[in-house]
């Protein structure tokens, strides 16, 4: 160990640590490094990622970051051409000296390209414990998947066999060749997020559609009892299947309640681009009213609208038709032997 007021150099288990306080540098094995408090600064870092990204996304971010960092470590040792068994003894020592926790690599099989890792009191475990989680995180599992993938030259993934956060003595991770990749995991998450947003939009559209239909139901074509036995229904705008069925149902339920002898359909506000469907529903409404003893009278038929109706082969001759609502009401009263003075 060498030391002065501004520079400190030391070796721990053969690994070099250097501090240069004048330059504000800390080196580990000759490269710039940095130290953070696990239970405060690093916990805050993890909490912030999760707060902004959500649990599922932050878990994938950490797993992917760990994997890619592990690939760097694995490639470094692979380029040294050291036996994999020797690398498996060096890495736990390096990580222990850097405060990462206790790691034991077992069941290393270069032929079948499998391995197992036991971790005890890792920095990730300590952060997760401070976060009061009941399952350990994904950074270190992903990290060793990256290391082994680089060392073995093929894609490896993992499954968890034990978890220290669940009360076991260590966290156990088993590694094996797999088609799972961090890129595929990212794409899968993107698809899930997209599907979730589509579902949310569909639900929003469905809710708004229900609201709009209810609004249309409330304001569309009111049934107006104008005099005893006489009901007026003004038709407004264009009628699709929903509006027409709603109007037929609403009108037929109102006629008996008002003891209506005459139903006056006011076509003044009907959209000029009347369709065959609209004419069909008018015929259906009139026929249904007739079945319960109510005569249908049509009013507000302009020459233009009359021409449109004629083009649809709708037979107007079976209805009494008038140019305006006033004349229709006069006629309905005369049918009852009454008149307005």
Quick: pLDDT tens for 245-266: 888 888 888 899 989 999 999 9
| pLDDT score of 335 | 83
Least Cα distance to 110 among 86, 126, 141, 94 occurs for 86
Assess whether 280 and 170 both reside in one domain.
no
pLDDT of 97-123, one tens digit each?
A: 999 999 999 999 999 999 999 999 999
Range name among 4-8, 33-37, 92-96, 337-341 with the lowest pLDDT average: 337-341
pLDDT of 228-246, one tens digit each?
A: 899 999 888 777 777 788 8
Say which residue the tokens 């705008």 belong to: 237
Residue 196 is assigned to a structural domain of this protein: no
Assess whether 128 and 248 both reside in one domain.
no
Residue 80 CB burial class (10 angstroms; 0-12, 13-18, ≥19): exposed
Assess whether 44 and 29 both reside in one domain.
no
Least Cα distance to 297 among 244, 257, 261 occurs for 261
The DSSP output letter for 148 is H
Assess whether 3 and 50 both reside in one domain.
no
Percent of the chain predicted with pLDDT > 90: 48
> Model pTM?
0.59
Residue 56 is assigned to a structural domain of this protein: yes
Count of domains for the chain: 3
Percent of the chain predicted with pLDDT > 70: 93
**Rounded to 5 degrees, what angle do the CA atoms 10, 14, 18 make?**
30
Residue 79 CB burial class (10 angstroms; 0-12, 13-18, ≥19): exposed
- In the structure encoding, which two tokens stand for residue 333, read together? 């009263």
For residue 302, the domain's CATH number is 3.30.750.24
Assess whether 170 and 108 both reside in one domain.
yes
**Residue 10: Cβ within 10 Å count:** 12
Residue 52 is assigned to a structural domain of this protein: yes
Assess whether 2 and 100 both reside in one domain.
no
H or E segment to which residue 93 belongs = helix 84-97
pLDDT band for position 181 (cuts 50, 70, 90): confident
Four-point Cα dihedral 98, 101, 102, 105, nearest 10: -80
Residue 164 is assigned to a structural domain of this protein: yes
H or E segment to which residue 217 belongs = helix 182-219
Task: Report the C-alpha gap between 44 and 38 in whole angstroms.
Answer: 9
The pLDDT mean for the chain works out to: 86
Assess whether 164 and 65 both reside in one domain.
yes
Of 115, 148, 180, the residue at which a domain comes to its end is 180
| pLDDT score of 220 | 62
For residue 117, the domain's CATH number is 3.30.1380.20
| pLDDT score of 272 | 63
| pLDDT score of 231 | 92
| Cross-strand bridge partners of residue 266 | 234, 299
Q: Say if residue 51's pLDDT is above 70.
A: yes
Assess whether 63 and 176 both reside in one domain.
yes
DSSP string, 7-39: EEEEEETTEEEEEETTTTEEEETTEE-----II
DSSP string, 248-270: HHHHHHHHHHTT-SEEEEEEEEE
Of 180, 198, 216, the residue at which a domain comes to its end is 180
| pLDDT score of 2 | 55
pLDDT of 296-329, one tens digit each?
A: 999 988 777 777 777 777 776 778 888 888 999 9
Q: How far is CA 326 from the centre of its chain?
A: 56
| pLDDT score of 115 | 97
| pLDDT score of 101 | 95
Range of the domain at 274: 224-336
Assess whether 256 and 302 both reside in one domain.
yes
Task: Report the C-alpha gap between 24 and 191 in whole angstroms.
Answer: 44
Assess whether 284 and 319 both reside in one domain.
yes
Residue 87 is assigned to a structural domain of this protein: yes
pLDDT of 160-169, one tens digit each?
A: 999 999 999 9
Range name among 71-75, 155-159, 170-174, 318-322 with the lowest pLDDT average: 318-322
pLDDT of 284-296, one tens digit each?
A: 888 889 888 899 9
- In the structure encoding, which two tokens stand for residue 100, read together? 């990462």
């Amino acid at each position: 160990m060498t030391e002065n007021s501004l520079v400190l150099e030391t070796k721990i288990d053969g690994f070099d640590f250097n501090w240069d306080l004048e330059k504000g540098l800390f080196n580990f094995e000759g490269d710039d490094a940095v130290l953070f408090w696990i239970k405060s600064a690093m916990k805050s870092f993890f909490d912030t990622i999760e707060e902004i990204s959500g649990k599922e996304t932050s878990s994938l971010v950490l797993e992917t970051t760990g994997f890619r960092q592990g690939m760097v470590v694995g490639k470094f040792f692979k380029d040294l051409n050291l036996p994999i068994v020797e690398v498996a003894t060096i890495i736990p020592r390096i990580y222990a000296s850097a405060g990462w926790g206790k790691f034991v690599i077992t069941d290393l099989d270069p032929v079948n390209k499998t391995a197992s890792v036991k971790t005890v009191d890792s920095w990730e475990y300590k952060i997760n414990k401070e976060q009061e989680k009941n399952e350990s995180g994904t950074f270190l599992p992903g990290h060793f998947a990256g290391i082994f993938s680089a060392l073995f030259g093929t894609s490896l993934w993992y499954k968890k066999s034990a978890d220290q956060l669940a009360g076991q003595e260590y966290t156990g991770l088993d590694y094996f060749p797999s088609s799972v990749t961090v890129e595929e995991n990212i794409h899968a998450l993107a698809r899930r997020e997209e599907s979730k947003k589509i579902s949310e939009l569909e639900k929003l559209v469905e809710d708004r559609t229900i609201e709009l239909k209810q609004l249309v139901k409330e304001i569309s074509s009111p049934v107006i009892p104008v005099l005893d036995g006489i009901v007026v229904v003004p038709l407004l705008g264009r009628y699709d299947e929903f509006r027409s069925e709603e109007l037929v149902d609403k009108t037929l339920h109102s006629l008996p309640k008002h003891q209506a002898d005459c139903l006056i359909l006011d076509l003044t506000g009907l959209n000029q681009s009347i369709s065959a469907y609209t004419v069909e529903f008018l015929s259906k409404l009139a026929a249904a009213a007739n079945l319960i003893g109510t005569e249908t009278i049509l009013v507000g038929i302009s020459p233009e609208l009359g021409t449109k109706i004629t083009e649809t082969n709708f037979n107007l001759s079976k209805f009494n038709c008038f140019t305006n609502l006033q004349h229709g009401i006069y006629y309905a009263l005369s049918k009852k032997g009454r008149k307005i003075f």
